[in-house]
Amino acid sequence: MNNFSVAAESVTKFFGRRLIFKNINLAYENSGIYGIAGPNGSGKSTLVKILSGLIAPSKGRVIHSVDGKNIEPEKLHNYTGFVSPYLVLYDEFSAEENILFFSKIRGINLDKGKSNFFLNELGLYERKDDMLKTYSSGMKQRMKFIFALVHSPFFVILDEPTSNLDNEGKDKVYRLIENYSGSNIVLIASNEENDLRLCKNVVELTNYK
């Protein structure tokens, strides 16, 4: 079990003059699966981008800490993992090359065993040397889970994790999420009932308008 926590304090976001949500207060600690729900356009993706440090809130703040110490924004990327339909990996490289590049850029030694484990789990091992541009959209979505998990982050954000996946892919992903959440925080932003069923606590964004 890690000692990671993430807290959003009075987070408000405007795009221009349009209010997306206001005064969101959240706190997640150690481990478990949490959810964010809301209709299309309610700001689920915006909120997870704020929580991952990709964009800044208009008001309020997000604090990430490990062992009671705040994590500097420049180092946050090594503690978080992110999956979303709008995330794009490098099509001109193979799955294995992508994983290797990401590990090197993150400054960590690639655990080949772990990488192969995820490739096997997600049914991509046989195609690991093929360029990503030859993958189907479902295979690319599975690949994003390896991108998000291979560096063992304490906080994994899954924005519509099962989009583009077939039933077999969904089952594999659910199994992976449940195993991973045993010792880490997993946050799911989705409209899918099956996705949200995994969560022990779901925040409904329509309550923050």
Partner 1 sequence: MQPFYHIFKKDLSSELRTRYAVNSLVMFILITISVILFSIGTETISDYLAGGLFWVVVFFSAMSGLSRTFVSEEERGTAMTLKLIASPASVFGGKLFFNIVLVFSMNVFVLVLYSILFDAFVLKNLVLFLTAFLLGNIGIAAASTIIAAIISKAGSKGTLYPVLSFPILLPLILILIELTKLSMDGVGLDEAFVEIAVLFCYDVIMFSVSFLLFDFIWKD
Binding residue for partner 1, selected from 16, 18, 40, 107, defined by CB under 8 A: 107
Q: How far is the CB of 53 from partner 1 (least distance, A)?
A: 8
Query: Does the footprint of partner 1 cover residue 184 (CB under 8 A)?
Result: no
Rounded to the nearest 5 degrees, what angle is found at the Cα of 112, between the Cα atoms of 111 and 118?
A: 95
C-beta of 53 vs 196, nearer to partner 1: 53
CA distances from 16 to 53, 62, 86, 105 (A): 20, 21, 22, 34
Q: How far is the CB of 58 from partner 1 (least distance, A)?
A: 12
Rounded to the nearest 5 degrees, what angle is found at the Cα of 91, between the Cα atoms of 90 and 94?
A: 90
Phi and psi at 201, nearest 5°, equal -150, 125
Query: Does the footprint of partner 1 cover residue 82 (CB under 8 A)?
Result: yes
DSSP β-ladder status, 59-66 and 69-70: antiparallel
Query: Does the footprint of partner 1 cover residue 174 (CB under 8 A)?
Result: no
Total number of residues that touch partner 1 (CB under 8 A): 25
Q: How far is the CB of 41 from partner 1 (least distance, A)?
A: 18
Query: Does the footprint of partner 1 cover residue 109 (CB under 8 A)?
Result: no
The interface with partner 1 within residues 112-141 (CB under 8 A) comprises none
Query: Does the footprint of partner 1 cover residue 190 (CB under 8 A)?
Result: no
C-beta of 28 vs 82, nearer to partner 1: 82
Query: Does the footprint of partner 1 cover residue 55 (CB under 8 A)?
Result: yes
- Token pair of 192, please? 């899918």
Please name every residue paired with 81 in a beta bridge, in sequence order, or none if there are none: 156
Q: Which span sits near partner 1 by CB under 8 A: 19-27, 102-110, 117-125, 164-172?
A: 102-110
Q: How many residues does the chain have?
A: 209
Half-sphere exposure of 14 (CA within 13 A, CB side): 6
Query: Does the footprint of partner 1 cover residue 16 (CB under 8 A)?
Result: no
Taking the CB of residue 55, how many other CB atoms lie within 10 A of it?
14
The interface with partner 1 within residues 34-53 (CB under 8 A) comprises 52
Phi and psi at 107, nearest 5°, equal 80, 30
SS3 of residue 48 by DSSP: helix
**What are the residues binding partner 1 (CB under 8 A)?**
52, 54-56, 74-75, 77, 80, 82, 86-93, 97, 101-102, 104-107, 147
